[in-house]
Amino acid sequence: MDARLQTIARVVDISGVRTDVSRQEIDRIVAACREYHFVCAFAMPCFTPYLKQRLADLPDVKVGGVIGFPSGADSTAIKVLTAKEHLRTGCDEMDMVINVGALKSGMDQTVEDDIRAVVEAADGKPVKTILEVAYLTDDEIRRGAEIAVRAGASYVKTGTGWASKPATVHTIRLIKSAIGDSALIKAAGGVRSLDTMLEMMDAGCARFGIGLRSILSIMNEVDARLNIHRSFSLETAQTDCY
């Protein structure tokens, strides 16, 4: 039995960052956090204070905030302002989208300055830089990862989950080859099976951003392999929320 199955929830950022996520969906995410104790939970900025409030009695579940999401095209000033707002709200971690257009334009210093400004504004909170790899070549992925490390990012993250192409094991290996152990790696977008998670972990991935339905399906896979029986499901999460 793979020993990682016992603690798989502790590498998961459960995420409610789609356009149509409602407060009721946030309540279901909270219910899932109470059941599985994921390491962190993310919502869009309008619901981040509510998420923080609902998780206040779960000290082992962090709350994260998104910055420049999903395009990365906000000005640096707006990204810094968002980071400061997340600090005020009580966020424990921040996931920011890099300036993808600047990276593709070869404006590496602009990308680095943008990330560094957010890292400084985050005041010591971990910042995960989202490359949005679906729009990048392998060379751009390598450059983006190296820039993120130079700028002080704690993690290099594959994507927002909004792009049509999923994160892949190839991408994780590519990022790992570029940054080594200089920063951690987070995968997000299209991670929908336990075997995919385990393969990505083998390739060097340390954290996963996964939506409610997909992570409940994965946790069911975990329970089946560990011979654990529980009554929690998406349906019970709906009835338990308020």
**Residues that are catalytic:** 95, 157, 186
Integer CA distances (angstroms), 77 to 67, 84, 128, 226, in order: 11, 11, 18, 48
Q: Is the omega angle on the peptide bond into residue 49 within 30 degrees of 0, that is, cis?
A: no
Q: Which residue type is seen at 91?
A: C
Closest alpha carbon to 74 in 92, 94, 101: 101
Task: Classify 187 as helix, strand or coil.
Answer: strand
Question: Residues with Cβ < 8 Å from 242, sequence gap 6 or more?
Answer: 27
Check: CB of residue 26 under 8 Å from CB of residue 16.
yes
Check: CB of residue 157 under 8 Å from CB of residue 130.
yes
E strands of the chain, at which residues?
A: 12-16, 40-43, 62-67, 93-97, 127-130, 155-157, 184-188, 207-211
Give the span between the Cα atoms of 193 and 217, in whole angstroms.
8
